Amino acid sequence: MELKGVIIWSLFSVLFCVSCAETVELTVNGVNSIAKTDDDFICATLDWWPDTKCDFNQCPWGKAGVLLLDLNNKILANAIKAFNPLRIRIGGSLQDQVLYQIGTFASKCPHFRRRDNELFGYSVGCLQMDRWDLLNKLFVETGAKITFGLNALLGRKKTSGTLYIGGWNWRNAFAFMNYTAYKGYMIDSYELGNELSGGGVAARVEAEQYGRDMIALKTLIKTLYPKPTTQPKVLGPGGFYDKHWFDTFLKVSGPNVLDGLTHHIYNLGAGNDPTLINKLRDPYFLSRVSQTYSDISTSINSFGPWTSAWVGESGGAYRSGGKDVSHTFVNGFWYLDQLGMTSRFNHKVFCRQSLIGGNYGLLNTTSFVPNPDYYGALLWSRLMGKTVLSASHKCSPFLRAYAHCTKKATGISVLLINMSNSTTFDVSITNENNVYAGQNNQREEYHLAPKDGNIQSDVLLLNGTPLKLTASFDIPVLKPKIADARFPVILAPNSIAFVIVKGFRAPACA
Ligand SMILES: *[C@@H]1O[C@H](CO)[C@@H](O)[C@H](O)[C@H]1NC(C)=O
Ligand SMILES: *[C@@H]1O[C@H](CO)[C@@H](O)[C@H](O)[C@H]1NC(C)=O
Ligand SMILES: *[C@@H]1O[C@H](CO)[C@@H](O)[C@H](O)[C@H]1NC(C)=O
Ligand SMILES: *[C@H]1O[C@H](CO)[C@@H](O)[C@H](O)[C@H]1NC(C)=O
């Protein structure tokens, strides 16, 4: 019986491989999960950039920065609410130059000003507590889950070059966290510093010092929140991965300090790279970054098994993203593929730079209208559960596939990405452990494609219909197409699909 099964199965595989060009057999293992994400994997950032921030002869931040953003905008509130909850990480380059107007720092509360010889070309800025109150009002109304990035450079001395030495002055941060706790604002996590790890970007701090400062932050939080169940998590270092630096940092900070090891990903190069649009569609290029995810996992397994990896910030292309690219449909090939890849490497959270601002916003900087990746993120959040399953096929590298348990229903959710602009794929989803199981159930399909076939469109089609806000500025209902699970999924060129196979028997999802 068993032998017969194997023979039939092999015959099956041969048949499928011969006609691989159009017919794909996607094999999903529903018995063993390969990784787990956090319940709330999707995260987006708010950055500190003022409207004077420019890159490559354009100034794409407008009034989208933390201090200038219109917090009464209805689209903004509805867009956040739709995730129920959306994680929001507040941070970015200027984070380590922000003072909080509280305690002994209450008297001076300067605005960021352009200063060529200072970090990132700006002077020190300030967060006033009445602005913080308004931000929290929005977060409460929308149910957002907040990560706040603290200034980690305060009190340190600049040496020659970019190295900053000496211990972190935590007093201003402590007064700020104390204010926040007294006000009853819920903070999911505090993160220390931005891009100060390894060689740093504009500034750097050595790993031993940073590890000791993380211990100090944990102590402050335990003082403010004696009950472990209500304690905000502690995250760091929020910078680029460097093996030696990260390993040392984990060793020095030690057990039970770091709740999440945050690192940043900008694997697409600079925003003005004319080849950006090709990189976004090149599966060989996109796969290269998996080495970093694998190395991070090794660092954690060897030196910090008590913690787990988060992508704390990733905009794909650095210096505010690509002008006619990063807010358009084609960016989803990179973004959704990254969500799939990092999930497989056991990452808990992925923070997209940005929720709004720059060229890579999930929402349009000026109109607040959702860009295609907003809907990709929302569908992921609603459909892809936290348990990650293996999914593989032997066909074109231009077809990417990821499988998770469904979020709320039974069965599995599959994400299919066809980066090919010419091939239509017929994808059969098969169960590695149960080849003969009939799949007479319904299947739900969400096919995403760009308007007019233009991969640089800001308008996304869901099952052929353009997604538009409702008359009351609400996010539209996202309805699947119902299909018969006995037939393959037909995946058009240049398209992405989320597919829910309800009848798929997956013990790992029970
Ligand atoms: C914490 O906040 C409370 C209430 O505002 C205040 O009385 C107390 O002095 C603060 N403690 C510190 C260390 O800032
Ligand atoms: C915002 O929308 C305008 C008008 O459609 C467009 O020109 C611009 O590129 C969009 N920007 C972003 C970042 O979404
Ligand atoms: C299809 O994609 C390739 C690169 O992947 C590109 O050279 C070609 O011009 C594209 N064709 C169309 C019709 O867009
Ligand atoms: C998807 O698109 C790529 C190139 O645009 C093509 O090579 C491939 O055959 C298409 N179909 C699938 C299922 O990947």
The closest ligand to the CA of 454 turns out to be 3
Residue 410 Cα distances to 90, 504, 505, angstroms:
35, 8, 9
Ramachandran quadrant class, 212 (left: phi over 0; alpha: psi -120 to 50; beta: rest): alpha
Report domain 37-386's class.
alpha beta
* Same fold yes or no, 15-35+390-509 and 37-386: no
Q: Is the dihedral of CA 417, 446, 37, 377 positive or negative?
A: positive
Ligand 3 mutation target, pool 421, 452, 454, 457, most atoms within 8 A of CB = 421
Are 398 and 423 within 8 A, CB to CB? yes
Cβ of 345 below 6 Å from ligand 4: no
Distance CA 192, CA 205 (A): 12
- Give me ligand 1 centre to Cα 175, in Å: 7
Q: For ligand 1, atom 8, which residue shows the shortest CA distance?
A: 178
Closest Cα partner for 464 from 495, 418, 442, 486?
495
Closest Cα partner for 26 from 413, 335, 334, 330?
413
User: To 10 degrees, what angle do helices 171-182 and 129-142 make?
Assistant: 50
Ramachandran quadrant class, 45 (left: phi over 0; alpha: psi -120 to 50; beta: rest): beta
The 10s digit of each residue's pLDDT in 297-355 is 999 999 999 999 999 999 999 999 999 999 999 999 999 999 999 999 999 999 999 99
Distance of CA 482 to the CA centre of its chain: 29
Distance CA 76, CA 83 (A): 12
pLDDT by 10-residue block (mean), the chain, 510 residues: 39 43 89 97 98 96 98 98 98 98 86 94 96 98 98 96 97 98 98 98 98 98 96 98 98 98 98 98 97 98 98 98 98 98 98 98 98 98 98 93 94 94 85 64 95 98 98 98 94 96 92
List, in order, residues 6 or more apart from 267 with CB less than 8 Å away.
Answer: 288, 289, 292, 316
Residue ranges covered by each domain of the chain: 15-35+390-509, 37-386
Cβ of 421 below 6 Å from ligand 3: yes
443 DSSP β-pair partners? 483, 501
Cβ of 182 below 6 Å from ligand 1: yes
Are 165 and 157 within 8 A, CB to CB? yes
- Fold observed for domain 15-35+390-509: Immunoglobulin-like (2.60.40)
Q: For ligand 4, atom 9, which residue shows the shortest CA distance?
A: 423
Task: Provide the 10 A C-beta neighbour count for residue 434.
Answer: 15
Ligand 1 mutation target, pool 132, 174, 178, 219, most atoms within 8 A of CB = 178
User: 195 catalytic, yes or no?
Assistant: yes
